[in-house]
Amino acid sequence: MFACWIAGIAVGLHVGTKFGPAEPVLAIAFLALAAVLAYASVQSAAHQKGRWRDCMGGFLTLFILTVIMQPVFQSAQLAAQSSNCISSVKNLARGVATYAADNDERLPPAESWRTASAGYRQPGDVETRCPNSIAPYTYAFNGFISRLKTESLTRPDKTVMIFEADGQTPNLAGTRSIQRKRHLGVTNVGYADGRAQPLRPLSPPPTWSR
């Protein structure tokens, strides 16, 4: 019986990950194959009809529950990943804002923004690669505001400074064209005033130039 429970959970996880609602035929076929394999694995221990019925009942119940609950678990995982990502964006934005405050209110050059601001991050500010990307560097600086004085920004609280992108160099810079939306249509943005927040599909558009 325990083997049937484990098989139901394992198959449910696999089907929920690989197939999903868009491919029900494949999911059903996989379920049929799994049922045959489960039968073969427990046949020697399930000679009686009642035991076989109980075994398959447990298998199907846990399979269905696992498939139904998997989106809930995935949503929780994505929320945690987005939280880690926005923390990194905030730390980078705060470091650049501190750099500007110590350099006559002038923002760093786009070609060296990360290097220039590295020494201005607070102790404990950790920047990690976005967990939803495989690129070596996953955050970029808004090239439109390179070397500008913060006083020249009309709305620093709405002006993008750090945003999600994929690149091969630490001082990655660019504009909206390289922005990535990695969190189910949501992207994390750091503003010129040092704040950071998620930018959702229905959020008011931010400012990229001054």
Q: Which residues contact 71 (CB under 8 A, 6 or more apart)?
A: 16
Q: What is the CA radius of gyration of the chain?
A: 25
Query: Domain containing 40: what range?
Result: 2-77
Query: Is residue 137's pLDDT more than 80?
Result: yes
| 207 part of a folded domain | no
| pLDDT for residue 99 | 95
Q: Find the mean pLDDT for residues 171-200.
A: 92
Q: Which token pair is 114? A: 């990360």
| 204 part of a folded domain | no
Q: Which residues contact 10 (CB under 8 A, 6 or more apart)?
A: none
State which of 23, 47, 77 marks the end of a domain.
77
| pLDDT for residue 59 | 58
In eight-state DSSP terms, residue 198 is: E
State which of 44, 59, 77 marks the end of a domain.
77
Which of 91 and 7 is assigned the larger pLDDT?
Answer: 91
Q: Domain count of the chain? A: 2
Q: Which residues contact 60 (CB under 8 A, 6 or more apart)?
A: 8
pLDDT tens figures, 105-117: 999 999 999 999 9
| pLDDT for residue 78 | 56
Q: Are residues 88 and 180 in the same domain?
A: yes
pLDDT tens figures, 96-105: 999 999 999 9
pLDDT confidence of 183, banded at 50, 70, 90? confident
Query: Is residue 152's pLDDT more than 70?
Result: yes
Query: Is residue 84's pLDDT more than 50?
Result: yes
- C-alpha of 209 from chain center: 27
Q: Are residues 97 and 165 in the same domain?
A: yes
pLDDT confidence of 161, banded at 50, 70, 90? very high
| pLDDT for residue 103 | 96
Q: Are residues 144 and 179 in the same domain?
A: yes
pLDDT confidence of 131, banded at 50, 70, 90? confident
